[in-house]
Amino acid sequence: MKKQFYIGLFVLAVTTAMLSSCKKKLDEYNPSGLTASTVFNNAAGFETLVNAAYTYTRFWYGKEEGYSLSEMGTDIWTNGTGDVFPQLSTYNNLQGSNTTALTLEWNSFYAAINLCNTGIAKIAAVPDYTAVQKATREAELRYLRAFYYWHIVETWGAVHLTTDPTDGVITTAKKSPVEDFYTQIFADLQFAVANLPLTSSDYGRAIQPVAKAFLARMYLTRGMNAEANNMARDVIKNYGLSLVPKYGDLWNMGNLKNKEVVWALDYSTNLAYNDLTTTTYPYGHSRGSNNGHLMFLMVYDQVNTTILLRDINNGRPFNRYMPTLSLLNLFDDTNDSRYNASFQTVWYANKAGTVGSNTFAIGDTAAYTAKTTIPAAVMNSRKYTTYDVSKTYASNGVPTQRKFYVSLSKFKDSTRTSIAEAQSARDVFVIRLAEMYLIAAEAKMKTGDNDSAAYYINQIRTRAALPGRTAQMQITSAQVNLDFILDERARELCGEQLRWFDLKRTGKLQGRIQTMNPDAAAYFQPYHLVRPIPQTQLDAVTNKSEFTQNTGYN
In angstroms, the CA 473 to CA 481 distance is 16
Q: Is 508 among the domain residues?
A: no
Residues 376, 354 share a domain = yes
Residues 286, 384 share a domain = no
Residues 322, 258 share a domain = no
User: Which residues does 491 contact at the CB level (< 8 Å), separation at least 6?
Assistant: 330, 331, 336, 338, 464
> What is the per-residue pLDDT across 265-298, written as a single tens digit (0 to 9) for each?
998 887 776 665 444 434 334 478 899 999 999 9
Q: Is 117 among the domain residues?
A: yes
Residue 510 burial (C-beta neighbours within 10 Å; 0-12, 13-18, 19+) = middle
* Residue 253 main-chain phi, psi, to 5 deg: -60, -20
> What is the per-residue pLDDT across 80-121, written as a single tens digit (0 to 9) for each?
999 999 999 999 999 887 889 999 999 999 999 999 999 999
Q: Is 322 among the domain residues?
A: yes
Q: Which of 182, 160, 163 is nearest to 171 (CA)?
A: 160
Are residues 427 and 411 in contact, defined by beta-carbon separation less than 8 angstroms? Answer: no
User: Which residues does 377 contact at the CB level (< 8 Å), separation at least 6?
Assistant: none
What letter does residue 413 receive in the DSSP assignment? -
Residues 210, 197 share a domain = yes
> What is the per-residue pLDDT across 468-486, written as a single tens digit (0 to 9) for each?
999 999 999 999 999 999 9
Q: Is 28 among the domain residues?
A: yes
Residue 430: other Cβ atoms inside 10 A: 23
End position of a domain, from candidates 408, 426, 449:
408
| pLDDT score of 39 | 73
Residues 348, 286 share a domain = no
Residues 163, 98 share a domain = yes
Q: Is 500 among the domain residues?
A: no
> What is the per-residue pLDDT across 163-214, written as a single tens digit (0 to 9) for each?
999 887 889 999 999 999 999 999 999 999 999 999 999 999 999 999 999 9
Q: At what angle do helices 131-156 and 100-122 cross, to 10 degrees?
A: 150
Are residues 406 and 370 in contact, defined by beta-carbon separation less than 8 angstroms? Answer: yes
Query: What mean pLDDT is predicted for residues 497-501?
Result: 98
Q: At what angle do helices 131-156 and 178-195 cross, to 10 degrees?
A: 150
Domain limits at 243? 2-291+533-540
Rounding to the nearest 10 degrees, give the CA dihedral for residues 276, 277, 281, 283: 100
Q: Is 360 among the domain residues?
A: yes
> What is the per-residue pLDDT across 206-260, written as a single tens digit (0 to 9) for each?
999 999 999 999 999 999 999 999 999 999 999 999 999 999 999 999 999 999 9
What whole-number percentage of the chain has pLDDT above 70? Answer: 91
Q: Is 519 among the domain residues?
A: no
CATH number at residue 161: 1.25.40.390
End position of a domain, from candidates 408, 429, 451:
408
End position of a domain, from candidates 383, 408, 433:
408
Residues 187, 170 share a domain = yes
Residues 280, 313 share a domain = no
> Which element (helix H / strand E) includes 10?
none
Residues 296, 255 share a domain = no
Residues 298, 287 share a domain = no
Residues 286, 404 share a domain = no
Is the four-CA dihedral 90, 95, 99, 105 of positive or negative sign? positive
Residues 276, 141 share a domain = yes
Domain count of the fold of the chain: 2
Q: Is 554 among the domain residues?
A: no
| pLDDT score of 23 | 37
Are residues 304 and 366 in contact, defined by beta-carbon separation less than 8 angstroms? Answer: yes
Q: What 3-state class would DSSP assign to 138?
A: helix
Q: How many residues does the chain have?
A: 554
Q: Looking at the whole model, is its pTM more than 0.85?
A: yes
Residue 400 has pLDDT above 90, yes or no: yes
> What is the per-residue pLDDT across 510-542, written as a single tens digit (0 to 9) for each?
999 999 999 999 999 999 999 999 999 999 999
Q: What 3-state class would DSSP assign to 195?
A: helix
- As a whole number of Å, the CA-based R_g of the chain is 24
Greatest CA separation for the chain: 79
In angstroms, the CA 155 to CA 145 distance is 15
